[in-house]
Amino acid sequence: MGGQEGGRKSKIRKRERKQRTGKKHLTVKPNSIYKVEGGKLIRNRKTCPRCGDGTFLAHHKDRYYCGRCGYTVFEKKQTQ
C-alpha cells in the first residue's frame, strides 16, 4: 500500500579543499624601506603625518594610503 518512497537522498558533499597559497602575509622588510647613503638615513617610503614616522603609506596607483588612520595622499601630477 503505497510503499513507494522516493528515496532519493542527494547527499551534497562538501569538499573542503585546503588550498595552500605560497604567499603568506607579506611583511615589509626594513631594507626596502630604509636606505643609508653616506651616513644619512633615507626613507624610500612616504610616512604618515598623522601616525608619525613609524607608519608608512601604502602606495597605490595614484595615491598613498595609510592603513592605520586612513590618511590618503594623492600624488601630484607633475605637468610641465
Assess 68 for contact with Zn ion (CB under 5 A): yes
State yes or no: residue 50 binds Zn ion (CB under 5 A). yes
Q: Which cell numbers in the block locate residue 51?
A: 601616525
User: Is residue 65 within the footprint of Zn ion (CB under 5 A)?
Assistant: no
Q: How far is the CB of 24 from Zn ion (least distance, A)?
A: 24
* Mask for 7-46, x = binds Zn ion (CB under 5 A): ----------------------------------------
Calpha distance 45→55 (Å, rounded): 9
| DSSP string computed for 6-46 | ----------------S-------HHHHEEEETTEEEESS-
